[in-house]
Amino acid sequence: MLDPTPTGLRSGEPPLLQTIGLTKRYGDFLANDAIDIEIWPRQIHALLGENGAGKSTLVKTIYGLIQPSEGEMRWLGEKMVLSGPSEARARGIGMVFQHFSLFDNLTVAENVALGLDGKESFKDMSARLEEVSNVYGLPLDPKREVWQLSVGERQRIEIVRALMQDPKFLILDEPTAVLTPQEADQLFIVLDRLKAEGRAILYISHKLEEVKRLCDTATILRGGKKVATCNPQAETAASLARMMVGADIKEVKAAAGRHVTVPRLVVNDLCLEPDDPHGVRLAHISLELKGGEILGIAGVAGNGQDELFAALSGERLSPDPGTVVIDGQAAGHLSITQRRKLGAAFVPEERLGHGTAPRMKLSENALLTGHAASGMVNHGFINTAATLKAVDRTTETFDVRKAKRDPEAASLSGGNLQKFIVGREILRNPAVLVVSQPTWGVDAGAAAVIRQALLDLAAAGAAVLVTSQDLDELAEIADRIAVMFHGHLSAPMATADASREKLGLLMGGSSLEQKETAHAVSA
């Protein structure tokens, strides 16, 4: 194994941060088991591991959010005990979380102000916010309210807020999980710049190709223990995955000769005004999805995907029932529960709050979406055993790792919660599944399990609509791909014809015809 310590840094200088035997217990469960890690300036250090391996636990300890059960941390060689994140920030440790800690009804600037230590006036802080966001090429309008922003823009707030504290060491928890390829490229430029400025970065990601491209060293956790330190550039994505999982990852395979049947989800000329002034107007959306098919919807976040999800799921009703047809029944005017009774299932993009109620147990969450169409409620009484059985089935099939049988949703690691939500809906055997970002934050092994389950669901006759910003994911599972831009949906094309370039052009709003005409004229 290569020595990941940059040359020249060993001569007497202590690492910026060092953990020695760092351990975190939850009851009998060891979330982190005696972890030693060294963080050096001018390095992008990857922290890799399966869902539930203990990555977030480790970085939360380093950021002072949780107290270690044993072991110690050293900052520039001196013992460091943190009573909370403000102490970590005071030393120069910044963190960008996987789940955003933003208040929806406050503006960008108000949110940033709340996360800072309040030593400057609001006006000065707003000016600095604009300056930092411009310097790093992460544009933000300080006056916009957060609920109006796409997930990618929300993440930008978190990053700018962390940069405004001028950190020496920045921790990023799965920063590209919700970004488009272009947004991710922009972020990599920012990270390279931060590294060149002499800062250290700890980078959690499940995207192994991007880790190989970006990171100088990697620490790999498995089951709460450190299992390896390596130079990711000298590894392959497959060898990194093997170290994480301890075994090879199965390939996703579509069933041969999948039977395409009748239309099960039809959208007819759906036009919908947004319910907020900055939302996206859905403009004449039509699509037809047959049983046995997977249709992928690509697009930059904030182009109407959320509005389309709301119109399909029944969170927004349409005045014309015929705009959404589920299994031959006009459903545009029906509620979520009524649509579920028709055999539809929905997985929204946001896991906490939208996909699950964070403070409720998994069984209670299973009941929230499953009560309409399964045996969880008998004559008005909740069948607790049935709700627990649903949790067990999901947990076993989708390998959801958790500390006890029926924990609160919020206690699950991000990827495990996603496996739970997607699994819960797939196991209901829906006729129609509408799913947004199915593998957001999910590790490579679990992503393969979820993608395979979507393919199997289609093979069993369901119509599956997948919205994803991950073009590789769509290429792997979708039969056809359409692109959303400014509330319009392009005509779906066969996945074999959907090159990254064609999709990228549509995602940027330029029509292919225009491009071709321009080519013809200039030729």
Ligand X SMILES: Nc1ncnc2c1ncn2[C@@H]1O[C@H](COP(=O)(O)OP(=O)(O)OP(=O)(O)O)[C@@H](O)[C@H]1O
Binding site for ligand X (CB under 6 A): 26, 29, 31, 49, 51-57, 401-403, 411-416, 443
Would you call 238 helix, strand, or coil by DSSP? helix
By beta-carbon proximity to ligand X, the closer residue of 302 and 355 is 355
> Closest distance between ligand X and the C-beta of residue 358, in Å?
12
Distance CA 89, CA 312 (A): 43
Q: How far is the CB of 409 from ligand X (least distance, A)?
A: 11
Count the neighbouring beta carbons within 10 Å of the beta carbon of residue 364.
18
CB nearer to ligand X: pick between 31 and 125: 31
Q: Which is nearer to ligand X, 451 or 488 (CB)?
A: 451
Q: How far is the CB of 350 from ligand X (least distance, A)?
A: 15
Query: In whole angstroms, how far apart are CA 288 and each of 116, 397, 507?
Result: 49, 30, 21
Angle between helices 414-426 and 362-370 (to 10 degrees): 30
* Distance between CA atoms of residues 14 and 124, nearest Å: 36
Nearer to ligand X, 54 or 492 (CB): 54
Neighbours of 428 (CB within 10 A): 21
Nearer to ligand X, 45 or 290 (CB): 45
| DSSP H/E element including 115 | helix 108-115
3-state helix, strand, coil in the chain (%, to 5): 35, 25, 40
Min dist. Cβ of residue 422 to ligand X (A): 13
Cα 298 to Cα 468: distance, rounded to the nearest angstrom: 6
Measured between alpha carbons, how far is 410 from 398 in angstroms, rounded to an integer? 18
Specify the residue, 55 or 264, whose C-beta has the smaller distance to ligand X: 55
CB of 134 to ligand X, least distance (A): 32
DSSP string for 118-132: --S-HHHHHHHHHHH
Closest distance between ligand X and the C-beta of residue 215, in Å?
16
User: Which is nearer to ligand X, 18 or 416 (by Cβ)?
Assistant: 416
Smallest distance from ligand X to CB 224, Å: 7
